[in-house]
Amino acid sequence: MSDSEDPRSARYRLGTTGVWLGSLAVVSARAGADAAAEIEQLGYGALWIGEAPTGKEAYTHSALLLAATSRIVVATGIANIWARDAWTTLAAAEGLGEAYPGRFLLGLGVSHAPLVQVRGHDYTKPLSAMRSYLDGLEQSRESYAGVPADPPVPVVLAALRSKMIKLARDRTAGAHPYLVIPEHTARTRQILGEGPLLAPEQAVLLQRDPVRARETAREYVKHYLELPNYTRNLLELGFDETDLSNGGSDRLVDALVAWGDAEQIAARVRAHHDAGADHVAIQPLGSTLDDQLQQLRELAPVLLS
């Protein structure tokens, strides 16, 4: 039996398509619960949530969303390793995994220098920090006295470049790359090999007008162009400095955000799958949660059929 057919495997539980919805971190608990319940009802396999110093804490937030749903996997995309020590993370993951069997996935990441430095931490060696954090998870698991999660909670890493991807391959269940293109998915799958899980995020926008679509997409992209982790990765993928200036060239914006009608967006999601993704987490761009949910409603029949 393959992982995609085994009910205990992360591949089976996630399904092929999920939702990445960072906006849930700043809306009310009631609004978040209602949104999660609807996303589950629409048939998406997983709900990915982010973590920033200005929003909800990742594990508390996950518990709220798990309690509001009955089947969907809730995944952190990602929980910041600088926000808490590995022992706390292990205890939280085991607690959620035991209470909601097979429904929590732990995505971990080193975040970005500005978001780490504001917490008073040193970001000079993020790869070493992640390696040490994974060591801490293993050590704390050996000492954990609570009821263990069954099935075990899978761990994935936010991995963009080769060294972090290799660490994800060697030490965790796989990788969750963010702000990437299908070519990156293909490269990541080549490094990971066949076994580990690969679940990239893909920004999407149901907007057929090129001017309006690129205006919205550029507002999303330009924030990330201030973060070196993303810009280095984009340069490695063949973009140049002119693509990264003035909020991003049309070429860059079109590559990072799948816009158009539902069929055009579905084609981009398929491109990730064809490149080796097991699961694609779509992030609908919208000015409000209602806008995002409306796009998910319209996309569900095409993406989940």
pLDDT, mean of residues 101-115: 89
Q: How confident is the model at residue 305 (pLDDT cuts 50, 70, 90)?
A: confident
Distance CA 120, CA 158 (A): 21
**1 pLDDT above the threshold of 60:** no
* H/E stretch holding 233: helix 228-236
Q: 92, 216 in Cβ contact below 8 A? A: no
pLDDT digits 0-9 by tens, 237-276? 999 999 999 999 999 999 999 999 999 999 999 999 999 9
Average model confidence (pLDDT) across the chain? 95
**154 pLDDT above the threshold of 70:** yes
Nearest CA among 206, 194, 205, 199 for reference residue 280: 199
Question: Which amino acid is it at 104?
Answer: F
Share of the chain above pLDDT 70, in %: 96
Residue 138 token pair: 């293993």
Q: Give one word for 93, left, alpha or beta, with left for phi > 0 and alpha for psi -120 to 50.
A: alpha
CATH fold label, 3-303: TIM Barrel (3.20.20)
pLDDT, mean of residues 278-304: 98
Domain ranges in the chain are 3-303
Q: What is the pLDDT of residue 111?
A: 82
Q: Is 119 helix (H, G, I), strand (E, B) or coil?
A: coil
Q: What is the pLDDT of residue 4?
A: 66
Q: 167, 131 in Cβ contact below 8 A? A: yes
Write the CA distances from 129 to 51, 98, 123, 208, 253, integer angstroms: 18, 27, 9, 43, 32
Q: Is the omega angle on the peptide bond into residue 265 within 30 degrees of 0, that is, cis?
A: no
